[in-house]
Amino acid sequence: MSQTITIAAVGDIDVADLLRPQTCTHGPLWAFKPCLDLLRADILFGNLECVTFKPPWPDEPPNERESFHLSWSEAMGLVHAGFDVLALANNHILDYGPDRALETIEFCRQHGIAPIGLGTDPAQARQPAVIERDGVKVGFLAYVEDVPGLRRQVFPGPAYMCEQVICEDIAALRQSGVDVVVISLHADMEFADHPAPYRVALSRRLIDAGADILLGHHPHVPQGIEEYRGGLIAYSLGDFVFPVEGDPYLEDNSPWTDKSFVLRIRVGKKGYVSHEIAPVRIVGAGQPIPMTPAEALPLLQRHARLSRDLADPAVLEAAWDETAQRWWRINIQWLAIAARDNGPEYAARRFLQEFFYDENAPWVSRVLGQMLGRMPARGWERSSPNNSNGNGHGSNGHGSNGHGTSNGAANTAGRPVTRSNVRQAADKME
């Protein structure tokens, strides 16, 4: 039998906020202790959703709600827990500015952890980590969707999601002689049970391009897993070490933010072999503990259903519609509050600047397309000889959202509602 090794992968790690007093009292390994047996593997991967830096501490956190930061001494729990690779391509890596982000890279390298997805320039951010265990060589890459908190900063900055770039990096890794290619993607909408159809399509194309394993995070809830053409796609690993309790944003938006799993993957010289999940729940200040069989049953049943759903495009489209409408309602409420407190001009400017970044453009475009598609046809459109689809909007009434899937986003003047033309308008307002 050919040699295989185990990769253990976990989702979002934020050893900060409410965890800090426990870390100070019980030591930096406290948050990981209950799950150490599950984390034992040939290679341990996680998404570090905070920055680590030396004193002096900042005078105050970046805003009233978030404080994704910890000192080097507190971060030693990552070292003692055995992490080999940490993805830094996420939406919080620049919360404290470029110097603090680079100190996170420095911490990892000084303590034998390979940081991926962040660099002093785009070329360095795209550099892989290659780890060899028992003759099996595994290459890791990490990317993030652009969000308002990142604003495409690159000097330094993370590696941003771009299919062409990712495919080039996969090809380069393959040419270097690695046996297994692992891609980390920080993307999609928070609290959604299902991945967006465009991300499913993209993930499968990346497997086709030569990746073996895709590890997703950012939704803060676990999503389904599928085996596709000899590869493995885990769409969201959920939260792992994360201060969920007492955070209304996390507690109120889904009952699954405090439940996830450790994904254990067997790989060999020929790529992906098999996988299993070990359910965990997050308690107290943010510490994950293994679930009992009885506790795990609801999560396992949900996981099986969500994984089956990945094979049904109709289910994914319906779920995406629901997600888009939900975030539309949330942001309409936010806009109303912003307009009340700061005036309609401010609210309109923020809408254009915030909601057409890569993270938000798909659902905004989806909702706008649906709204415009329900508008009655104008007289000249009804009589147009090019109107071949019978809905009064011409044969091209449904445009692309820029991610390779249709989202029904075209306006009645014939100009698609796309990320590029709305971002141009937003940039002019800055």
Q: What pLDDT score was predicted for residue 4?
A: 97
Q: What pLDDT score was predicted for residue 423?
A: 42
Q: For 347-373, what is each residue's pLDDT tens digit?
A: 888 877 777 777 777 888 888 888 777
CA distances from 199 to 48, 163, 196, 382 (A): 22, 11, 5, 35
DSSP sequence for 48-95? E-SEEEPSSPPSS-SSSS---EEEHHHHHHHHHHT--EEE--STTTTT
Report, as ranges of residue numbers, the positions in the chain whose pLDDT lies below 50.
61-66, 380-381, 383-430
The terminus-to-terminus CA distance of the chain in angstroms comes to 60
Q: Are strands 239-241 and 4-13 parallel, antiparallel or unpaired?
A: parallel
Q: For 157-213, what is each residue's pLDDT tens digit?
A: 999 999 999 999 999 999 999 999 999 999 999 999 999 999 999 999 999 999 999
What burial class does residue 96 get, using C-beta atoms within 10 Å of its C-beta: 0-12 exposed, 13-18 middle, 19+ buried? Answer: buried
- CA 50 vs. chain centroid, Å, equals 14
Q: What pLDDT score was predicted for residue 397?
A: 35
Q: What pLDDT score was predicted for residue 78?
A: 97
Query: Is residue 287 within 8 Å of 34, Cβ to Cβ?
Result: yes
Q: What pLDDT score was predicted for residue 428?
A: 43
Q: What pLDDT score was predicted for residue 194?
A: 98
Q: What pLDDT score was predicted for residue 415?
A: 33
Q: What pLDDT score was predicted for residue 379?
A: 54
Q: What pLDDT score was predicted for residue 378?
A: 54
Q: What pLDDT score was predicted for residue 164?
A: 97
Task: Please state which CATH class domain 4-311 belongs to.
Answer: alpha beta
For 194-209, b where at least 16 C-beta lie within 10 A, e where not — what string? bbbbbbbbbbbebbeb
Number of neighbouring beta carbons within 10 Å of residue 318: 13
Residues sharing a CB contact under 8 Å with residue 378, sequence separation 6 or more, in sequence order: 392, 412
Kindly list the domain boundaries of the chain, sorted by start residue.
4-311, 316-429
Residues sharing a CB contact under 8 Å with residue 369, sequence separation 6 or more, in sequence order: 398, 399, 407, 408, 409, 410, 417
For 346-356, b where at least 16 C-beta lie within 10 A, e where not — what string? ebebbbbbbbb
Query: Is residue 399 within 8 Å of 369, Cβ to Cβ?
Result: yes
Q: What pLDDT score was predicted for residue 408?
A: 35
Instruction: Identify the CA nearest to 65 among candidates 283, 246, 335.
Output: 246
- CA 270 vs. chain centroid, Å, equals 27
Tell me the C-alpha distance between 345 and 100, whole Å: 34
